[in-house]
Structures are given as C-alpha cells and as structure tokens.
Amino acid sequence: MTIEQHTTPLSEHHVGDALMLIAGEWTEAADGWWIDVESPRDRTILGRVPRGGAEDVRRAVDAASRAFPAWRDLRPRDRGELFRRIADALEPEQERIARLLSLENGNAIRTQSRGEMQFVVDAFRYFAGVAGEAKGESIPLNPQVLDYSRREPLGVVGAIVPWNAPLMLSALKIAPALVTGNTLVLKLAEDAPLAVLAVARVCQEFLPAGVLNVITGYGSEAGEALTSHPAVAKLSFTGSTAVGRRVMEKGAERIVPVSLELGGKSPQIVFPDADEDWVVDGTISGMRFFRQGQSCTAGSRLFIHESVFDSFVGKLVDKLSELVVGDPVDEASDLGTIVNARQFDRVGEYIADGIEQPGVDLALGGLPPAEGPLAQGWYHRPTVFANVSNSWRIAAEEIFGPVVCAIPWRDETDVIRMANDTHYGLAGYVWTHDLGAALRTAHALEAGWVQVNQGGGQVLGQSYGGFKQSGIGREFSLEGMLDSYTQRKHVSVHLER
C-alpha cells in the first residue's frame, strides 16, 4: 500500500518508512509489500515497515552465516568494547526512542518507556562487561593429559520478540548472542518494530555488516521462515505459549536448541498481616498496571486472605481510581493504551465474561468507555474483579490487560495449591511480615521467579525464566548468556605423544 492509498489518517507524529537491516544495508522487502504501524493512542498511522518474507529471511541468514567466522574470531573483549560504544552512542537517543516506543505500543512514557530504554543501555553495558567470561574448565586427570573445555558460539541465532516490551526483549537477545560470537537474525513484532529499528540503526554504526540483521514482518511469514531455515543454529523466542510450542516443534525437526520465554498467570499471595498501603502499591506494581497488565510477569491472580479481603480490595480500588489513563506521550499519564484492536477486543471479551460469572463483584472498571477522549484509542481502564473463583476463565487464562482477579483464601496449604493450579509458572509474589510463611510459600510456588514484599521488574544478572509452560532457558544473566548462546566443546590432549 502506498501512503496515498491510506484510508486511516496519518499520525501527527508520522515517521514515514522504516527499513529492515540485512547484510549491513537498510532495505525494503523483496516483494515490495509493507505493514502499517498504527499508533494505538488515536488509531492513526505512525509509519510503515517492510513486510519481510521468506526471501528476506534467506538473505538475512546468508549474511549472518557469511559474517559469522570473522565475528566469532574477534577477541571477546573487543566485541564487548563495541557494545560499550553502542551504549554510549544510544544515550543521547534515549528520549527520542522512548517516545517512539510509547507512540507505537501505547505504554506510558513516564512510567514505562523511558525505563525500558534505559534498560537497553544498561543491558548493553552489562553484557559488554561479561563478554570475556565465556570460559571453559580443565580437568586434572594426570600429568600426561591436558583435558579442557571451550565455550564456543553456536553460529546464526534466529530470535523473535513480542510487542509488549520490544526494546528490553530485543536488547536481551542482541547483546548476549553477539558478545559471545554468534551472529543474529532478529524478527520484530509487527505491532512495535519502530523503536527497535532505531536502536538497530545505532548498533549498525559499530558492527560489521551481517552480524546483526533485523527483519520486520508477520509471524506466519517472516517468523515461520526464520524458525524453518536450515542454517539457523539456535532459536530464541519470547512471546505466547501457543507460538512458543510451534517454535519448539520447528526446532525439534532439526534438533536445534530452543530458548522460550512465554506467558504467565502469576499469583500474588497477601497474608492476613499485610493489609497495608505499601502492599497495595506493591501489588499494583506486581500486576504491571503501569503497562496495562501487558506483561508476562503480571501478578493477575491476587489471593487475599479472607480476614482482610474486603479491606484490601477497598484500598486497591481507591489507589487504582487515582491512576490517570491517557495519552501515552503525555507526562501526566500513568497508564497508556492496549497495543492494538485485536488485543483490545480480547481484553473486552474477558471483562464481559467476568461480569457474567455468578457471585462476581466488579469492584472497579469494566468495559471500556464508548465515548469521550479514551474512546479515540485502544484504552482499557484498571479493572478489579473480586470474589473470583480460581477455576473461572478470567482466573485461568492470560488476559494481557489491566484486569486483576481477587480471590479469597483461608488456609496456607490451600492457597499454594490454588496458586500452583495452572499450566503457567513464570512469576509469583508473596506479601507478609512473617519470614517463615514468606519463604515456605516462595519455595512452594511453582514459578521461575518469586518476589517477597516487592513487585519490581527483572534485574540484569537474575537468571530469569519460566517453569512449566512459561518457558525453557534463562537469558537475563551471565549464566543465561552462557547456557543460551554458547555450546561446550571438550578437548583432550595427550602431552607425551
């Protein structure tokens, strides 16, 4: 589609066409097709990106394969130094890129996008610092034998990211994959490619051609082409469990290692001694309300002890009512928009389903306003369902919206059983002053990451990842980098022959 053919109005912040990166060149799709990127704040067109397909993926993987030997053989610390310089060069661009992110995925700039962009710079510096740490070991066998291991890169990595935190998740693939000597083909989410392309532009000023390739396009086209390509030696995917299963099947066909960071329906457990304001603030943060609940770690099942249930829900409703839902690039907004029409409708369907459950108490929010300024974009308001049963659909399925289900509990054993009664296992939150209860619960939760008395985001250096159907592998840390992006080779040398 050409710009002239648009029926949807262009955004006041329209950025034009942003190109893909293949073999060091900024390029259109081979077949000339484009994807419009809509701004969810007002449903206008923000720009276009190429609709990459199999031919583009083939060119990108070829470029990454050609670039691999020289990049692999560069001194690891020199690779790290390049990422240090990229981080420095990104700093003056941070505000511009954070704003672009808010415009394309609807996250509020003050509460989300600035921090996410800062994370990119921090992640590049972190992995730059550990670039030389891909060390092996030697085994003391006997004086005649030197037996040692090396950690080697895998080759061309194929990585795929979603739209909800595209900058952070792309940085967590680009930096660890590249500093360990792999080359990369990164497929961006069709709904939020622009901010990552802006980061890639800065990276490309420092990296040799073909080391980093960035493809835009749909999952069913570019995504499938990447997971099927025979020269891709490793797949790293962040997104939904349904697509993760598909990526794993494609990896299994060729026995290619796969890392998966998938969905969640994480529990927060509030003990009777935790009916306090700071806990309410913490559960709001743990629910990722400031990202409209569009987070894999959202603590969207809020188990509150029955003795403090009404009081806690009352405080929660009061605090959530004060949050400002509005234009993501307005400094006053605490929450922005849902990313697109499909997700907006999906969240609305879950809310409608919740309202119909017998005995439910819609304590706050509900279906989105049909008129007024919020009706101009894909805005949902914070929604609290109280007296929810853990077996209802709204408590069992990942809504990926600003909807929390408050579920009463009486007995510690029973709340742990309910918390674990899910095929997901990503995160968990425990709120209590009782250290014994906190740690008993933290250890009993089937989740890859449990926070006690805090509801923060991931920190570099944590081996973050999921249990059960929330994923396989860890990527936020040195250990994750070694496990995900290197393979061990053993060398045994007889010294006297």
Binding site for ligand NAD (CB under 6 A): 160-165, 169, 187, 189-190, 218-220, 223-224, 227, 238-240, 243, 246-247, 261-264, 296, 398, 400, 426, 466, 471
Q: What are phi and psi of 492, to 5 degrees?
A: -120, 120
The answer for 290, left when phi > 0, alpha when psi is -120 to 50, beta otherwise, is: alpha
224 vs 334, which CB is nearer to ligand NAD? Answer: 224
Considering the complex, what minimum distance in angstroms separates the CB of residue 465 from ligand NAD? 7
239 vs 428, which CB is nearer to ligand NAD? Answer: 239
Tokens 């990104």, residue located: 90
Q: Would you list the DSSP string of 285-334?
A: HHTTGGGTT-STT---EEEEETTTHHHHHHHHHHHHHTSPB--TTSTT-S
238 vs 484, which CB is nearer to ligand NAD? Answer: 238
226 vs 308, which CB is nearer to ligand NAD? Answer: 226
Considering the complex, what minimum distance in angstroms separates the CB of residue 332 from ligand NAD? 27
88 SS3 class: helix
Among candidate residues 261, 276, 398, 496, the one labeled active-site is 261
| Residue whose C-beta lies closest to ligand NAD | 219
258 vs 320, which CB is nearer to ligand NAD? Answer: 258
Cα–Cα distance list, 317 to 177, 310, 320, 402 (Å): 43, 11, 5, 13
Alpha-carbon torsion, ordered 480, 483, 486, 490, to 10 deg: 140
Q: Are 202 and 92 in contact (CB under 8 A)?
A: no
Residue 25 has what DSSP assignment?
E
Dihedral (CA of 296, 301, 304, 310) sign: positive
Distance CA 160, CA 170 (A): 8
- Determine whether 224 is an active site residue: no
Considering the complex, what minimum distance in angstroms separates the CB of residue 77 from ligand NAD? 29
Considering the complex, what minimum distance in angstroms separates the CB of residue 413 from ligand NAD? 28
Considering the complex, what minimum distance in angstroms separates the CB of residue 483 from ligand NAD? 15
Considering the complex, what minimum distance in angstroms separates the CB of residue 61 from ligand NAD? 14
Nearest to 294 by CA among 340, 354, 326, 260: 340
H/E run at residue 242: helix 241-254
Token pair for residue 98?
């954070």
158 vs 326, which CB is nearer to ligand NAD? Answer: 158
- Indicate which residues carry an active-site annotation: 261
